[in-house]
Amino acid sequence: MVAVFVVLALAAVATLVAALSRAAPPEPPPSLEEQVREFTPRLDPRGPYRPPDAGERDALVGAVSTLVGSGSDAAARGVLESAGFTVGVTRSAVGVEYLVARSDPASPRSWGLIAVPIGRAPRLIVEVPHPNADYDTENVGLAVLAAAPDSIYLQAGAHRRADDERADVAHQEDSLFHALAVHLSSRLRLPQLQLHGFGERDDLDADIVLGGGPDDPAPPVRALADRLEDAGLDVCTAWDGACSELEGRTNVQGRAAALLDLPFAHVEMSVSTRSDPEKVAHALATLGS
């Protein structure tokens, strides 16, 4: 009888092992695009926000800088996680691996979503400073990333109007967004492509307003204007005249880039342009070429 029980027990174990071996593999994490599109609608004008203090900014900038390229430094990932970021590796729709760090929109430390390509030297920073305010700019950013996957993606972590507009990272120098944009562009000598959107206007008949910072733009930004026009877009260039006060000359990342002698493209897009990201994405991606 004992022998029978032993045989039955062994058979049960073998059955269990076989079942486990046939079990479905774990579900992959959400793609980069899925994470961005889940994150963005959660940003609310009444949401919590406070800028990081100097120590927090320095620590987080150092951590992200360390993770550019490999994404595998445990200590750097720990710095982000201790500041409330969710950190993990995922793939984009075109199959490129990224390390993604996302802050919590329900926390005052709502500081951003950052994606850095793994195993690739970045050639461009794609920036979305006004998510869920300049609608669909994140979709254009993702389309640019698909066209230029060796790029860093940087998105604000709060609605621009949160905390009495202190969360408007395009005009606040104390944000993590600004600190990362300046540090990464200067350290890696990268151009910045910053995406904005405007609504229907009676005083502007253009698909895009392109600015290059407070002064004359760098040559790559001038070349970008030509490529956008070649793509069939009507472009108002800030250096050729007034563009309904959408030129972006007061943008703090643009001012910092001018001091560093680095290309900075401030791209204001119409509603129809943002609704067709692929039409504009390939031209915008050439800024990093």
pLDDT tens column, 162-180: 999 999 999 999 999 999 9
Q: Say which CATH number the domain at 214 has.
A: 3.40.630
Q: What does the alpha-carbon distance between residue 4 and residue 269 come to, in Å, rounded to a whole number?
A: 76
Q: Return the pLDDT at 24.
A: 60
Segment 2-24 shows an average pLDDT of: 49
* Confidence bin at 15 (pLDDT 50/70/90): low
3-state SS of the chain: helix, strand, coil percent to 5? 45, 15, 40
User: Please, what sign has the CA dihedral across residues 245, 246, 247, 252?
Assistant: positive
Number of domains in the chain: 1
> CA-based angle 189:190:193, to the nearest 5?
155
Query: Among 29-33, 148-152, 193-197, 239-243, where is mean pLDDT lowest?
Result: 239-243
- Tell me the residue type at 104: D
Query: Among 3-12, 81-90, 181-190, 218-227, where is mean pLDDT lowest?
Result: 3-12
Pairing verdict, β 152-155 and 113-117: antiparallel
Tally the residues of the chain: 289
Output DSSP code: residue 287. Answer: G
Q: What does the alpha-carbon distance between residue 99 and residue 85 come to, in Å, rounded to a whole number?
A: 12
Q: Please determine, for residue 9, whether its predicted confidence score (pLDDT) is greater than 70.
A: no
Q: Which residue has the higher pLDDT, 289 or 155?
A: 155
Q: What does the alpha-carbon distance between residue 99 and residue 88 come to, in Å, rounded to a whole number?
A: 6
Q: What is the mean pLDDT of the chain?
A: 92
* Confidence bin at 69 (pLDDT 50/70/90): confident
Q: Return the pLDDT at 72.
A: 81
Containing domain of residue 150, as a range?
2-288
**CA nearest neighbour of 266 among 198, 201, 204:** 198
Q: Return the pLDDT at 85.
A: 98
Segment 39-67 shows an average pLDDT of: 98
Tokens of 105: 């929109």
Q: Return the pLDDT at 288.
A: 87
Q: Please determine, for residue 286, whether its predicted confidence score (pLDDT) is greater than 60.
A: yes
Q: Which residue has the higher pLDDT, 22 or 67?
A: 67
Cβ contacts of 218 within 8 Å, gap of 6 or more: 191, 212, 261, 262, 263, 264
Taking the whole predicted model, whether its pTM rises above 0.95 is answered as no
Q: Return the pLDDT at 152.
A: 98
pLDDT tens column, 193-248: 999 999 989 899 999 999 999 989 999 999 999 999 999 999 999 999 889 999 99
Q: Return the pLDDT at 22.
A: 60
pLDDT tens column, 95-116: 999 999 999 999 999 999 999 9
Q: What does the alpha-carbon distance between residue 269 and residue 136 come to, in Å, rounded to a whole number?
A: 10
Q: Return the pLDDT at 14.
A: 53
Q: What does the alpha-carbon distance between residue 284 and residue 289 come to, in Å, rounded to a whole number?
A: 10
Segment 154-164 shows an average pLDDT of: 98
